Amino acid sequence: MTPPSPRPILVTGSAGFIGANFVLDWLRERSAPVVSLDKLTYAGNRANLASLDGDARHAFVQGDIGDQDLVEKLLTTHKPAAIVNFAAESHVDRSIHSPEDFIQTNVVGTLRLLQAARVYTENLNDADKSAFRFLHVSTDEVYGSLSPDDPAFTETNQTLPNSPYAASKAASDHLVRAYHHTYGLQVLTTNCSNNYGPYQFPEKLIPLMITNALTGKALPIYGDGLNVRDWLYVGDHCSAIRRVLDAGRIGETYNIGGCNEIKNIDIVHILCDILDRLKPAGRSYRKQITFVKDRPGHDRRYAINAHKIESELGWKPTETFATGIEKTVRWYLDNLDWIASVTSGAYRQWVKTNYEQGIRA
């Protein structure tokens, strides 16, 4: 007797940086199909999933998680075993200029996605309802800022968001928790540190520095460059999410970190040195570094304590920062056409607004 085909998963925000990496990794590692849902805003790029064109295991739908009717239809049609929610406005700088966009997507959109999941699961049989998972992908920024000597964030830290982006994600985290405790939805939440790797839109630090370096532009560093972040290679993040989806305790939150606390200025120096070696330009790329006015409410330090996911689920990152950043730089050098395709006129205007006109986000 032929075993039944595995039920698909629904991945939202699947054409963005982390979502696309997750879908690509999932289909390399698992047999279960993927239904992709993405609104295709500026940071969602259908080309990120182009390698899956013609793959019967992948179905792409352009749409908004805030469109509850659409989501309910997708759930009814495809009957997924899980929803993995990456869909979010995710850049602090943009949230300072346009906070309402972040409330609409991250708060209202998550609410409607949760409500669609609730309606869907109420119509499942007991076994399928118990097996269903809603995994919400969030950020360490909900915890606020650390001083140099503070211990790293744990899952029990109070949420103290300092930017509209972080506040919108904290609100969505609370909604996910509420839907579990109020309605019994089978939820999981992950809070990750700063991701880096292939397909990251060049508004974030690492791809912005690579892109600007290669085009001879200034490498703008906020403030004194001493802000500290924990850096997580996106492939490690994807493997952690798969592990939480498989074995995480319902209703729990898991911090996912890369164990790489590094100052922003040191990140830029590392990138310049790798580019000096791989793509020499006649003088060091460090000469392009420029310090700019700090952005409002710039958190000084983030750090993740990932003991819980390691002790409970046996996960820890496999990439060091040295190996992950080398892979990342090589990917961007090998994909210059991708960079050109995403750095449109609107993108260039955004960079000018943030870094060249004295309006600092």
Q: Which of 141, 155, 173, 261 is catalytic?
A: 141
Q: Which of 38, 143, 155, 165 is catalytic?
A: 165
Answer positive or negative: Cα dihedral of 203, 207, 209, 210: negative
Determine whether 141 is an active site residue. yes
Give me the helix-helix angle, 264-278 and 321-334, nearest 10°: 50
Q: Burial level of 345, CB count in 10 A (0-12/13-18/19+)?
A: exposed
Determine whether 310 is an active site residue. no
Radius of gyration in angstroms for the set of CA atoms belonging to the chain, rounded to a whole number: 20
Determine whether 334 is an active site residue. no
Q: Which of 140, 261, 299, 319 is catalytic?
A: 140
| Rounded alpha-carbon distances, angstroms, from residue 176 to 66, 91, 116, 147, 171 | 15, 21, 13, 29, 9
Q: Alpha-carbon distance 81 to 225, whole Å?
A: 44
Do 171 and 141 meet the contact criterion of CB atoms below 8 Å apart? Answer: no
Q: Which residues contact 258 (CB under 8 A, 6 or more apart)?
A: 193, 230, 231, 232, 233, 236, 304, 317, 319, 321, 324
Residues annotated as part of the active site: 140-141, 165
